[in-house]
Amino acid sequence: MQRPAHPYLSGRFAAIAHRGGWVEPADAPRENTAYAFGRAVALGFHYLETDVWATADGELVAFHDEALDRVSDGSGRIGDRRWADLARVRVGGIDPLPRLADLLDEFGSACFNVDIKDPAAVAPLARLADRPGVAERLCVGSFSDARLAEFRRLAPGVATSASPRAVALATHGFGLRRLARDPGIALQIPVRDPRTPLRLVRPDVVRLAHDTGRVVHVWTVNDEAEMNRLIDLGVDGLVSDDLTTLRRVLLNRGLWEDER
């Protein structure tokens, strides 16, 4: 395949730390924190995955859920709170909520795969991408076609993943020309459709992505045998929580590239 010509895809294989991932299972509750991302970078990970929501005053927070309750000592929706209030919230009772801008500054050599969770986050993310040295370190996706389309309009130079519509066309077997028209550089998909028994990562889907000049990143894979199976299938990146297992697999396969 001919890989997309974009700085984000500079390596041979993308090992992507899901919400920062964990080196030890006890670290799992500290997802999407500077601690988690720091542990991933220290282990040699170059690609970090996160999600973003906008606060009531327009700050971009790296956090997966719409509400704070599951993993933090706070409660309520992020979008209903100002950043000054959220700065006191602790994830896992330990770590402050990080702003995406601060993560980009702190981990200046890392690339970020960013999922836009919130319509209000689109414009702030586009403005952040306009800062020097940021655009080439981002790949932006969304489960919303509308959010992704608006981001592409505001930040046309930033790499994006294929839209949900393009993914559906590609994985359900009738989307060659339509996938070719989508500007996304990566088909980022789970192994299976969570709503149906359909397997999404198949030889024909990988071949279609490669034939249209895209890479295939698969989420979220924590099983060692499954990692090896997908690599044998020809995928170009794996998103995982279990960083030590993914690193070991890639070392054994000659695909690990330590970016420290």
Residue 172 covered by a domain: yes
Same-domain check for residues 152 and 175: no
Query: How many Å is the Cα radius of gyration of the chain?
Result: 18
pLDDT at residue number 66: 96
The Cα angle at residue 12 between residues 99 and 245, in degrees rounded to 5? 70
Q: Which residue range(s) make up the domain with 177?
A: 161-253
How far apart, in whole angstroms, are the C-alpha atoms of residue 94 and residue 101? 20
How far apart, in whole angstroms, are the C-alpha atoms of residue 182 and residue 188? 13
Same-domain check for residues 187 and 130: no
pLDDT at residue number 259: 47
Residue 147 covered by a domain: yes
- Looking at residue 206, which CATH number applies to its domain? 3.20.20.190
Same-domain check for residues 27 and 56: yes
Q: How does pLDDT run across 184-210, given as a tens digit for each residue?
A: 999 999 999 888 778 999 999 999 999
Same-domain check for residues 141 and 100: yes
- How many helices (H) and strands (E) the chain has is answered by 10, 11
Pair 102, 39: CB distance under 8 Å: no
pLDDT at residue number 207: 92
Same-domain check for residues 21 and 142: yes
Residues annotated as part of the active site: 18, 64
Domain end position, chosen among 129, 144, 159: 159
Domain end position, chosen among 159, 177, 192: 159
38 residue type, one letter = G
Low-confidence ranges of the chain (pLDDT < 70): 1-5, 173-178, 259-260
Q: How does pLDDT run across 6-54, given as a tens digit for each residue?
A: 778 877 899 999 999 999 989 999 999 999 999 999 999 999 999 999 9
pLDDT at residue number 260: 39
Please state, in angstroms and as integers, the Cα–Cα distance from residue 1 to each residue in 65, 212, 213, following that order.
36, 9, 7
| Tally of structural domains, the chain | 2
Exposed / middle / buried, residue 42 (Cβ in 10 Å: 0-12, 13-18, 19+): exposed
The tokens for 115 are 């999922």
Same-domain check for residues 45 and 149: yes
Domain end position, chosen among 137, 159, 181: 159
Residue 8 covered by a domain: no
- Whether the model pTM is above 0.75: yes
pLDDT at residue number 173: 67
pLDDT at residue number 202: 94
Residue 129 covered by a domain: yes
